[in-house]
């Protein structure tokens, strides 16, 4: 089976996870609930955080679906599932036992819970699940959901790969080729899910009975695979209409923030969901034009992005626990946390994770001899 690769997808993945780290730093200072909070929050963080919040996670799930398509283009289903299981499940287990407990520990300390030591806290790790207990996957929920989608969708993906000219794919190709505006129908299932499931189940990230989130991100993951499957028809559309997506994104973003001052909740949902879809198309379109080329920097960052994601939240919360106690302004704290989080994670990655086979395995990286894959 032929191996395929688009470098713009790798770049978008790297950029999206960088933005995720910045977003998590911002959560310490925005007036929303989070694990560690600064004693003073700032309304100035709200608009940029809400802007990112609309499309950052949807983009990651679409990109993940696209990456799945490329991985399956040169692997058997059995090999793919075995590799994905190792690269997803091992970091989840390792994270829940080693990386997430320090996050919960500093959160409990910030809440005034007294432990004699970290070992004393760890002895209570399995006394219930978060938030009432201490056992949690915290930010690793993304990997948990990704593994679930991999299991349930892989049989469908294998069928599509084995039957590239099946009736559905051909219909999609012909529809988008003749009517490019058909790409604007994709948010409709998201609107239906939002209107029916969100009022019942909310947004919990607990996996169990989290039917709204599982359905919402699952559709986006599926979209990534399906749109990649129509190949140049999709990419040519993105590149050709990228400026129109830019204009639409500006209009929808402004409309969304204006509508937030009203009580038109149903309209707000529709605008927000179309806005997130347009931003995904916009970012993919411009990356197709300007970022679809290899580089040494991309090779390094693309390999590092997964361990960076797995490790960053632990470093951020531990660092944040001490920095929020400093008597300096918010801007300086934010800057210290950004530089400190990226710097410490990079230091640990470069000196330890990248060099040792066991750590590569625990952080979901391929063995060094397989890096070309």
Q: What pLDDT does 369 receive?
A: 64
Q: What pLDDT does 373 receive?
A: 42
pLDDT, tens only, 46-70:
999 999 999 999 999 999 999 999 8
> Whole-angstrom Cα distance, residue 164 to residue 168?
9
Q: What pLDDT does 372 receive?
A: 43
Provide the token pair at 75: 């692997």
pLDDT at 2 over 60: no
Q: What pLDDT does 4 receive?
A: 63
> Whole-angstrom Cα distance, residue 363 to residue 312?
12
Q: What pLDDT does 1 receive?
A: 42
pLDDT, tens only, 87-127:
999 999 999 999 999 999 999 999 999 999 999 999 999 99
Residue whose C-alpha is closest to residue 15's, from 65, 70, 55: 55
> Whole-angstrom Cα distance, residue 361 to residue 357?
6
What lies within 8 Å, CB to CB, of 192 at 6+ separation is none
> Whole-angstrom Cα distance, residue 150 to residue 144?
10
pLDDT at 137 over 80: yes
> What is the average pLDDT across 171-185?
95
Give the whole-number percent of the chain exceeding pLDDT 90: 91
pLDDT, tens only, 251-268:
999 999 999 998 888 899
SS3 of the chain: helix, strand, coil, percent, to 5: 75, 0, 25
* Peptide bond preceding 131 in cis form (omega within 30 of 0): yes
Predicted model pTM: 0.94
**Please, which contacts does 91-94 make with residues 24 or more away whose CB atoms are closer than 8 Å?**
91/140, 91/143, 91/306, 91/310, 91/362, 91/363, 91/364, 92/137, 92/140, 92/143, 92/144, 92/147, 94/362, 94/363
For the chain, give the mean pLDDT: 94
pLDDT band at 142 (very low <50, low <70, confident <90, very high): very high
> What is the average pLDDT across 282-304?
96
pLDDT at 227 over 60: yes
Task: Give the Cβ contact number of residue 32 at 10 Å.
Answer: 14
């Amino acid at each position: 089976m032929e191996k395929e690769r688009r470098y713009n997808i790798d770049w978008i993945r790297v950029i999206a996870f960088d933005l995720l780290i910045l977003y998590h730093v911002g959560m310490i200072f925005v007036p929303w609930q989070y694990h560690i909070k600064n004693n003073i929050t700032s309304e100035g963080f709200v608009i940029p955080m809400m802007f990112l919040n609309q499309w950052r996670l949807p983009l990651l799930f679409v990109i993940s679906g696209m990456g799945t398509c490329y991985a399956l283009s040169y692997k058997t289903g059995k090999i793919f599932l075995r590799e994905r299981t190792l690269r997803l499940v091992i970091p989840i287990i390792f994270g829940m036992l080693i990386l997430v407990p320090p996050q919960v520990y500093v959160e409990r300390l910030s809440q005034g819970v007294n432990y004699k030591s970290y070992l004393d806290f760890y002895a209570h790790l399995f006394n219930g699940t978060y938030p009432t207990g201490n056992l949690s996957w915290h930010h690793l929920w993304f990997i948990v959901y990704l593994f679930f989608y991999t299991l349930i969708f892989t049989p469908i993906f294998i069928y599509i790969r084995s039957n590239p000219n099946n009736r559905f794919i051909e219909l999609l190709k012909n529809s988008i080729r003749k009517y490019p505006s058909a790409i604007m129908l994709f948010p409709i299932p998201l609107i239906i899910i939002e209107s029916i499931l969100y009022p019942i189940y909310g947004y919990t990230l607990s996996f169990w009975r989290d039917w709204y989130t599982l359905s919402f991100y699952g559709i986006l993951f599926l979209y990534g695979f399906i749109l990649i499957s129509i190949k140049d028809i999709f990419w040519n559309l993105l590149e050709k209409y990228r400026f129109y997506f830019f204009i639409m994104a500006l209009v929808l973003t402004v409309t969304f923030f204006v509508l937030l001052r009203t009580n038109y909740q149903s309209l707000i949902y529709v605008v927000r969901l179309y806005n997130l879809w347009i931003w995904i198309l916009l970012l993919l379109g411009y990356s197709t034009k300007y970022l679809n080329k290899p580089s040494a920097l991309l090779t390094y960052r693309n390999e590092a992005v997964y361990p960076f994601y797995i490790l960053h939240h632990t470093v951020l919360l531990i660092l944040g626990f001490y920095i929020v106690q400093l008597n300096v302004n918010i801007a300086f704290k934010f800057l210290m946390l950004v530089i400190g989080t990226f710097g410490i994670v990079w230091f640990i990655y470069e000196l330890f994770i990248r060099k040792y086979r066991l750590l590569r395995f625990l952080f979901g990286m391929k063995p060094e001899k397989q890096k070309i894959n």
